[in-house]
Structure 1
Amino acid sequence: MTASRQKRNAWLKKLAGLADGADKAQEDLLMGIYQARQDGVSYADVAYGIGDKSPSGIPAKVEKGRAVLEKRKGGTE
């Protein structure tokens, strides 16, 4: 069974919107990690808060969050 052109286009539009939302949510999470570390929250507490098993990956996420925040402050999203 194949979907009509209208259904397919509607779903493509919906899926693209969901994917964009997921990308924004991931960037928001990275910014939150960066901001939590700026407020003095430990790597272990950040890892626990986001459900990571180990705090060893948090420093990389902090840097990515800093980059996202700088990008957004610059007005280019």
Structure 2
Amino acid sequence: MISRQKKRAWEDRLAKLTRAAQAAQDAVFVAIYEARQDGLSQADVAYMLGGVHPTGIKAKEEKGRAIRERRRGGNPT
């Protein structure tokens, strides 16, 4: 049997890691958007990310744009 304290410590640790993973994913989406705005092609970005097909970059770019706009307090539409 595990103590409540140890269980709570693991809950906190895993929650922190989950938040960090989401923040990192959001940062990747924003970077994709910014790279595309800077003139890189979908193929360039896909190559740099590795394991991503160029056709999937547009959706990630749109997510990045929405995240960036939301952070700036703007309307993402």
| Fold agreement, TM-score > 0.5 | yes
Deviations 1:39-71 (A, max 9, x none): 001111100111134201000111000000001
Over the aligned positions, Cα root-mean-square deviation in angstroms equals: 1.3
Q: Which moved more, 1:21-30 or 1:66-75?
A: 66-75
Indicate the residue corresponding to 2:29 in structure 1. Answer: 30
Unaligned 5+ residue runs, structure 1?
Answer: none
Runs of 4+ in 1 over 6 A off after TM superposition: none
Indicate the residue corresponding to 2:5 in structure 1. Answer: 6
3-state SS, counterpart of residue 56 of structure 1: helix
Per-residue deviation at 1:15? 0.3
The two structures have a TM-score, normalised by structure 2, of 0.90
Unaligned 5+ residue runs, structure 2?
Answer: none
The two structures have a TM-score, normalised by structure 1, of 0.90
Indicate the residue corresponding to 1:18 in structure 2. Answer: 17
